[in-house]
Amino acid sequence: MLKLGVNVDHVATLRQARYKGREDIGEPDPVSAALLCEKAGAQGITVHLREDRRHIQDRDVYALREKVQTRLNLEMANVPEVIQFVLKVKPDIVCIVPERHFEVTTEGGLDALGQEKNLAGTVERLLEAGIEVSLFISANPHQIEAAARLKSPYIELYTEDFVKAVGTPGEEKELQRLIAGAKLAHQLGLKVNAGHGINYANVQKIYRVPHLDELNIGHSIISRAMTTGIEEAVRQMLKLMESYSL
């Protein structure tokens, strides 16, 4: 079964717009939203603890670690301060992502090949602490091979390039890149997740990509929740995901 991890960062984004520095009284609460996602059937919760703390705060991660009953996935940059925090909190899985201070959202995959030496120690430390590791990378064979050398159990394929190509002549080319990437990762013993830009309109186009374990979806679900409520938004996405076959 294809699993759904719901990213609740944008719940915190809305809170921070009014309650930055007063998160203890602020709303909406990403932890409450996460619990409603689980109630609706989501198999995991994802948050990105950015260096600049623009949305999710340390206190949110501590509360999520205490209350999430499914699987807590913490996205993070490969920087010492965040690594130390992660080793203290111990989420179920960490997804190492690239991070640029002036980006609105993550703008591409991690350069696992170019940063292989720097990543090796981090991946080893996290695994030794009992935390699973995923690398957020593009469907580039060299990046996938680097992830395998790093002994990361998971990769998460960056899907934004495909999402942008949907409805254009480049759609099939980008889809084939994802298909080839997933097949190579599977051959190398990696588990395959995917995410970034996936929504209700394009999610079923992803289903031609084999060996997917989990989709991480945030903005689309949180946006729909504004009109349907978050539980119904999660249920609608899960319904669309029922037809996926490996």
**195 has a pLDDT exceeding 60:** yes
Q: At what angle do helices 219-228 and 230-241 cross, to 10 degrees?
A: 130
Domain-embedded: residue 139: yes
DSSP string, 69-98: -S-EEEEE-S-HHHHHHHHHH--SEEEE--
Model confidence at 233, pLDDT cuts 50, 70, 90, reads very high
Domain-embedded: residue 42: yes
Domains in the chain: how many in total?
A: 1
- Overall pTM > 0.85: yes
Handedness of CA 136, 138, 141, 146 (dihedral sign): negative
Residue 241 near residue 215, CB atoms below 8 Å? yes
Give me the domain span that covers residue 141: 3-241
Model confidence at 9, pLDDT cuts 50, 70, 90, reads very high
pLDDT tens, residue by residue, 66-105? 999 999 999 999 999 999 999 999 999 999 999 765 544 5
Q: Residue 105: what pLDDT?
A: 54
Rg (CA), the chain: 17
- Three-state SS sequence of 27-40: CCCHHHHHHHHHHC
Closest to 205 (Cα-Cα) out of 236, 156, 243, 233: 243
Give the separation between CA 135 and CA 154, rounded to whole angstroms.
7
Residue 15 near residue 51, CB atoms below 8 Å? no
Residues taking part in catalysis: 48, 75, 196
Domain-embedded: residue 100: yes
Domain-embedded: residue 95: yes
Domain-embedded: residue 102: yes
CATH number at residue 8: 3.20.20.70
Provide the b/e sequence for 21-50 (b: ≥16 CB within 10 Å): eebeebebbbbebbbbbbebebbbbbbbbb
Domain-embedded: residue 246: no
Q: Residue 123: what pLDDT?
A: 98
Domain-embedded: residue 234: yes
Mean pLDDT, the chain, integer? 95
Q: Residue 100: what pLDDT?
A: 66
